[in-house]
Amino acid sequence: MSGPNLNEYNKVIPRPNDFLADSQKDFLVNFQQLYNAFSRNHIALDAASSSGNHTKIELLQQPQGPETSVGEISLYSKKLVQVNQTTTQLYHRYQGGASAGTEVQLTNYQLYSPGALEEGLVSFFTFLPGGLILYFGIINFSKAPANSLYLQPYVCTNIMAYNFCVKGTTLFADPTVVFINTERPPIITRFQAQPAFNIPVLPAFPDVEYYFIVLGNTT
């Protein structure tokens, strides 16, 4: 809840030994200020319907996630420092205390580009609630170094799902790919396209662009 206007709200009302008649005007001013403050992020108390319901919630940044007891959960904001960015994000902690209660990051909606990219690649990524990272973009394996889609930034430890779909109206088979986790274990660094039917003398993939989406874990 937002605070009242301190230029008009008088916190020492009623004064010691005051008669109510003497403080009536100040009481009315204080109640009006509290009403105004409440109405900034709630439906007014005298509204015809839904009175008192929130219209928005403001969560001040916490230095760390608060503990939770059994039977309660926490919703709070705190600073996130990750992959060249510092932002305030929304978090949720399950019941059970700091050790038992699991903290889940609920927001981080920003879309990022990893910067300078290899030939044949247009790539972006974003973080999702629960320690997930989503990579997406366009890849041409025939032009990409080592016929690979590099998963930058290198923070993905597990692949949950992926899909490649040819760009355009001409039909081509989806590429056969494997992911590589031996270069910076346990990080998965890239998807590599494989030769057709695993026979090296056959073309591995046509000179076409594919849309891609890769969902993975960061923890």
53-79 pLDDT, tens digit each: 999 888 888 888 888 888 888 889 988
Of 135, 183, 139, 140, give the one whose Cα is nearest residue 161. 135
pLDDT value of position 202:
45
Mean pLDDT taken over the chain: 83
Over 60: is that where the pLDDT of 119 sits? yes
**DSSP codes joined into one string, 142-179:** TTSGGGEEE-SSS---EEEEEEEEESSSS--PPPPEEE
**pLDDT of amino acid 94:** 78
3-state helix, strand, coil split of the chain in percent (to 5) is 15, 30, 55
State residue 99's pLDDT score.
Answer: 56
pLDDT tens digits, 164-186: 988 887 777 778 888 999 999 99
Say which residue, 86 or 218, is predicted with more confidence. Answer: 218
For 3, list phi and psi in degrees, rounded to 5. -85, 165
Look at residue 96 and give its three-state secondary structure.
coil
**pLDDT recorded at residue 218:** 86
Domain of residue 164, CATH code = 2.60.40.3940
Claim to verify: residue 182 and residue 143 sit in the same structural domain: yes
- pLDDT at 100 (0 to 100): 56
pTM score, two decimals?
0.58
What is the per-residue pLDDT for 84? Answer: 58
Reported as a pLDDT band with limits 50, 70 and 90, residue 201 is very low
- Half-sphere exposure at residue 133, Cβ-oriented, CA atoms within 13 angstroms: 22
Mean per-residue pLDDT, 91-118: 73
Domain of 40, in residue numbers:
1-57
Q: Are residues 166 and 86 in the same domain?
A: no
Question: How many structural domains is the chain composed of?
Answer: 3
Tokens standing for residue 44: 């007014």
Residue 196's alpha-carbon distances to 9, 152, 172, 203, in angstroms, are 76, 26, 12, 6
**Same domain for 77 and 132?**
no
Q: pLDDT at residue 200 above 70?
A: no
Residues 90 and 130 in one domain: no
CA distance 107 to 66: 17
- Provide, rounded to the nearest whole percent, the portion of the chain with pLDDT above 70: 87
Q: Looking at the predicted structure, is the pLDDT value of residue 137 above 90?
A: yes
Strand ranges inside the chain, DSSP E: 61-62, 74-81, 86-93, 103-105, 121-128, 132-139, 148-150, 158-166, 177-180, 190-193, 210-217
Q: Is 208 helix (H, G, I), strand (E, B) or coil?
A: coil
Share of the chain above pLDDT 90, in %: 27
Give residue 79's pLDDT.
Answer: 85
Residues 132 and 190 both lie in one domain:
yes
For residue 31, being part of any structural domain is answered with yes
Residues 128 and 212 in one domain: yes
